[in-house]
Structure 1
Amino acid sequence: MTGVAPPWAELSMHRPHTSPAISVAAILNEGPTSSSPLLVLADDEQQWWVKHETRTSGKSLVNELVVGRLGKLIGAPVCDVALIDLASNLLPYELRSGELVRAGTCVASRHLGDALVEVRPPVPHRTDDDNRRRHAGLLALVDWCFGRDVQHLQDAGQDFATTSHDHGQYFPLGPGWDPAALSSAVHTPVVIADDPTGLDIDELHRLAHALRAVERRTIHEVLLEVPPSWPVTDSELRRPGQFLEVRAAEVAVRIELLIARLESI
């Protein structure tokens, strides 16, 4: 342990100018949703879904990266996320909307396969695969990161294993979040429209413990991964840090209350 991190107001938010570990080798196609992700082949020989900056994307790239990283931190079922470089020699690329994709650092989530079905709460197949555990993680992540426009993927080829994806609309006001919105909503619970009956009690206990163990320093490190080229200032990034730190403890309490309710049934 290196001690408790300084208050958010004293933490440096100077983000380093680092190059992504992977780059887009080829653009394969545009996704079917309104958020217009691009399916690409990267130079790691893997396929990724790339969220890119357009005129209207706002802070959605920030949301995608931060929620993906925090989901992994607490062991929630989220897609792997990475920063990826989209070079100008692969452009111009015009989206169905008519907007042009911009070159630069983007956020990507690993392609999970071709047998995927997108679902929204209430999420089916609770008793398939290890979804009793996975669905508990979805509940925790949505509440912690103020999930909006909640979307999940289920893999029909893997007994409908459920994974959270598309987090661009998370946080109050989605990609339009600002300090006022974060402050006003910091204590507001977010409950997905899903019956909690059948969730894995041991996993709920683990998630509550994981949320209580989240440290300011860890959230700070995640926020420092946000590229300086993205449309958010160093000062603005402190606010979601404070928001997430406060909510982690409060969500842990809500999960423990849910455990008590489920155990009493």
Structure 2
Amino acid sequence: MAAGQAESNGILAAALRKADRAAPQASAQLFVRDASTGAKPVLAVADNGKSYWLKWPGNPHGNLSLAHELIVARIGQLIGAPVRPTPLVYVDRALVESYFIDGQRLPSGLYVGSELLPDVEEHTSITRVARDGNAQRFAHYLALWDLCLGTDLQLLYHLPEHDQVWSIDHGLWFDSLEGDWTQTLLSGRINEPWPWPDEVLPRGLDRKALTAAASAVAALTIGDLAGAIGSVPLEWGISDHALCTLALFVHARRSTVANRLRNAAELMT
């Protein structure tokens, strides 16, 4: 094993051994309703006064999708992508005693939350690029999409903020829309371009923002990615090997994505 690889593995392993790994940022106080989408998330009010859509362990998309939600959100924050706050939210046993979805009682424990944003329109396509700030926001979003093999595009346009765009629902990223990824599948994607949404870059992106997004992707360190995988709770049952595989994949893919973004910037008029 090369010295650099051994050092990376050591940094990742240390992050997964941390005693304070995956501490919740809030506790749910009230379940409001559940949604009919694939993962069956639950809208809840937390003790910090905020509301979150919560995805639960054992949901129909599987626990690996919960890890994806956390990891993509953490990487998105690092590179300036417009991702919603995605905390871990603790759900007490008393709250789920009589709450069932499709005949299944929900578990207690750590859920992954997506902070509710009121007054939005939800779309599955990229639009409104010319609206306030979106030419920059989409540049960083597309960097995240390419880096983490985005699928199942879901965007919120915040109407009070001039249609400001936010990305949500990353559970099926890493090319897992048709089933969980394998290490072999990810290895084959490291140096391959990943299709843009709608197959082409949208018109009107900000050239400087594309270049900035490329620099942010290239600057990601193993330490950064260790922090991302270290946010995944042990109780979800995701193996350390799987989490390290994701981190190493993202780290290896950085130059491919950064170069693609820079090339796209050069083509902007």
Structure 1-normalised TM-score?
Answer: 0.90
Q: Distance in 1 between matches of 2:25 and 2:167?
A: 23
Q: Does 1:208 align with 2:214?
A: yes
RMSD: 1.9
Are the counterparts in 2 of residues 63 and 170 from structure 1 also a CA contact under 8 Å? yes
CA contact (8 A) 1:5 1:217 kept: no
Question: Where does residue 154 of structure 2 map in the other structure?
Answer: 151
- Give the AA of the match of 1:252: A
CA contact (8 A) 2:156 2:168 kept: yes
**Uncovered stretches (5+) of structure 2, i.e. residues with no partner:** none
* CA shift for structure 1 position 133: 1.0
Of stretches 7-16 and 169-178 in structure 1, the one that deviates more from structure 2 is 7-16
121, 129, 135: which is aligned to 1:126? 129
Contact 1:153 / 1:163 at 8 angstroms: preserved in 2? yes
Q: Counterpart of 2:100 in 1: which secondary structure? A: coil
How many residue pairs align between the two structures?
257
Which residue in the other structure is 1:31 paired with? 35
Higher helix share: 2
Write out per-residue CA displacement over residues 13-59 of structure 1, whole angstroms, 9 at most, x where no aligned residue.
32535541311011111124222211111011111111111253230
Q: Deviations over 1:175-203 (max 9, x none)?
A: 72232222222223222215432101111
Matching residue's letter, 1:16: A
Between the aligned partners of 2:59 and 2:206, the Cα distance in structure 1 is 42
Query: Is 1:139 the counterpart of 2:142 in the alignment?
Result: yes
The 5-angstrom pairing of residues 209-248 of structure 1 reads 209-248=215-254
- 2-side partners of 1:28 and 1:218: how far apart? 35
**1:10, distance to aligned residue in structure 2 (A):** 3.3
Structure 2 counterpart of 1:197, one-letter code = R
User: Does structure 2 conserve the Cα–Cα contact (< 8 Å) formed by 1:65 and 1:107?
Assistant: yes
SS in 2 for 1:118: strand
Cα separation, 1, equivalents of 2:146 and 2:18: 27
Distance 1:195 1:181, change over 3 A: closer
Corresponding residue for 2:58? 54
Aligned to 1:197: 203
Change (3 A) 1:231 1:187: farther
- Corresponding letter in the other structure for 1:225: S
Name the SS of the counterpart of 1:64 in structure 2. Answer: helix
Residue 22 (structure 1) aligned with residue 36 (structure 2): no
Q: String of CA shifts for 1:191-227, please: whole Å, max 9, x gaps.
A: 2215432101111111111111111111011111111
Seq. identity, %: 28
Question: Residues 128-171 of structure 1, C-alpha deviation per residue, up to 9 Å, x if partnerless?
Answer: 12111111122111101100111111122322111000000000
SS of residue paired to 1:229: helix
Report whether the alignment pairs 1:181 with 2:211.
no
SS at match of 1:168: coil
